[in-house]
Structure 1
Amino acid sequence: MKIERIYKSKFESIPLDEWLESPKRRMKKIPTNIIKRRDNLLSFSNLYISFSRWLTWEVQTNEIEKESASGLRYASKMYAAFLKLAEHPEQDIMFKIFDLPAVTWNGKGMLEAGYANPEEWLDAYFLAVITRDSESMDSLANFPVEIMKQSATKAGPVSYKLVEVFQAFHHRQDNYPSLLNQCMKMAVDQGNDWALGIAMGYLETFAALTTDIGFDFNETLAKNVQLQEKYWINASDPDTVPVESFLPLQLLGMACMWRDMGNTVTVESDSLPRFLIEGTYF
């Protein structure tokens, strides 16, 4: 089942190499700059994710695949570390992420600054799923939703309930099915474009993945990859590139889970790189 992207690249005016030039320069400086500022854990995570999103437009050689996968591995550790600090704001915690310098920080002021909101958690958790980073998955699955609600950046009720749904499944809680149903109803009641276009897409695809509700996983995945690309195109300004749609972390993570459960992902899309689904470099 082949899905073509709706968005058409405009690399005639700005070549892809130019889009990639700035992040490449910044990534080279990460070993030096990571020790300078705690919030760099988040900014560098987002840098790596954005870079991998742009790389989906490249010809997928082994070199490009390794470059993308390596960046996502670093991003997963950084994202989970950053949210860990918000969970224990008074505690100094040391992190050693692969070959980067060891750093020690606390999370004072993070909630007041608006960090640790559900949007960040959803990206961090499914990034860990994609990179098969079980340590980060376990850490994030134990992050209290009540702490998220203390963040200065507020979200709608569906966002917090989504986190509860995914955490409940991670822990194989008996109340997972009821939480899933509750969240679907809340998304319908919330009724805005994000709740119906993004949250419901997550929930439908996850239901097809984890229950016998009757949804075909591949058909549901294909439908929601297309719907969510349309959402990001519509949500972006006319001159803004819908970068989020280039690598939809949550849907891609669910495709990885489906594959790791011994099933076949039949959906083919540049937004769902096969090497990430198969965990080739993880």
Structure 2
Amino acid sequence: MNEVIIRHDLSSGPDADQFAERLSKRVARRIDKLEDSAEMIDYAFSTANLAMRAHCVADPRAAAVETWESTVNSMQLGSAIFALLGSSGEAVECRINRKLRTIPATGPMSTADAGTWLSAFWLAVICRDQDRMTQLSEIPLERLRSPEGSYDEYIYHWVDTLQSWWLRRPDLADKLIATIEASDPNVARIAPQDLLQAVLYPPINLFYHYVRNDRDGFAPALTDALKLHKAYWTLNQDRAKDIDGSIALGPVAIACLAYDAEFPLDIQSDYLPKHLLQRTWIGEFPA
């Protein structure tokens, strides 16, 4: 049976196509400035994420190449942040927005933390960029720790789990169990409870079904994740207008893994853009 989860209405904001185009132009300008200074790379990344979501509002199935390009730009910027973090030289060479760029190293950045890492990793998964997944997975966990109180401890278990899975390190099962236990609402204290339960935990649950090769249980878990995503982003009027709710980034990434592994995914939703899931645009231009 094909499950359909209708995305909530985001049309009350600015004209979607024009807004997405304006944001993409802003991203391009910020990218062009990186070769002079990388100090604003975190702003370029956040703007690129906003542009990607704006394109997904205007193009819910990600059928247009502009939506794919905005997704690739986000991935490239996210990965560049961590390439700079690990650099011991004066500059790092990164491909961003169709060009190979030499970006001056900045030293440690407060935004190069576990939360940003997760976003960068999800984007690399969605873009099927295995080299970037490897580069991100090789970053020592301790480099991703924020000042005390920024994140619940579960997020570091989660990053450790994903890195261990991709690099085929031992004790994956134990690390995933530790992630699940640390993300329990009775244990985690920093993340708001509704955010934890509706947005942050569902990708962990999906990954649990994926690594267990639970082909029968994955699709129902994905359906639940998208329904929780919708419930969170429609709880009040302010959230319902927030473009961040346009796609479910973590669930999309895990669904991409499941799709590539030929799991049955009888689900249709604009929270899960069809052509990102089905890797339609892979290879359209160098990533």
- Does TM, scored on the shorter chain, surpass 0.5? yes
Q: Percent identity?
A: 17
Once the two structures are superposed, the pairs formed by residues 1-282 of structure 1 within 5 Å of their partners are 1-5=3-7, 7-11=8-12, 14-30=14-30, 32-59=32-59, 65-88=64-87, 90-97=88-95, 99-100=98-99, 102-110=101-109, 114-149=110-145, 154-188=150-184, 189-190=187-188, 192-211=193-212, 216-234=217-235, 238=238, 241-282=241-282
Q: Distance in 2 between matches of 1:164 and 1:237?
A: 36
Q: CA deviation at 1:242?
A: 2.8
1:190 and 1:214, CA in 2 relative to 1: closer, same or farther beyond 3 A?
farther
Q: Distance in 2 between matches of 1:44 and 1:156?
A: 26
Q: Distance in 2 between matches of 1:200 and 1:60?
A: 24
Q: Distance in 1 between matches of 2:244 and 2:14?
A: 19
1:171 and 1:217, CA in 2 relative to 1: closer, same or farther beyond 3 A?
same
Q: Which has the higher contact order (CA 8 A, sep 6+)?
A: 2
Post-superposition CA distance 1:209-257 (Å, at most 9, x none): 11156971111011112212323444x7727733222122211011110
Q: Unpaired segments of 5 or more residues in structure 1?
A: none
Q: CA deviation at 1:169?
A: 1.2
Q: CA deviation at 1:55?
A: 2.0
The question of whether the paired residues in 1 share the 8 Å contact of 2:61 and 2:274 is answered with no
Per the normalisation by structure 2, the TM-score is 0.84
Q: Unpaired segments of 5 or more residues in structure 2?
A: 283-287
Post-superposition CA distance 1:80-108 (Å, at most 9, x none): 121122234x5323213153352232232
Q: CA deviation at 1:270?
A: 0.5
Q: CA deviation at 1:146?
A: 0.6
1:171 and 1:21, CA in 2 relative to 1: closer, same or farther beyond 3 A?
closer
The question of whether the paired residues in 1 share the 8 Å contact of 2:233 and 2:240 is answered with no
Instruction: Specify the alignment match of 2:285 in structure 1.
Output: none
CA RMSD of aligned residues (A): 2.6
Per the normalisation by structure 1, the TM-score is 0.86
Q: Distance in 1 between matches of 2:146 and 2:272?
A: 34
Q: CA deviation at 1:180?
A: 1.1
Count of aligned residue pairs for this structure pair? 274
Question: Match of 1:190, SS?
Answer: coil
Of stretches 269-278 and 242-251 in structure 1, the one that deviates more from structure 2 is 242-251
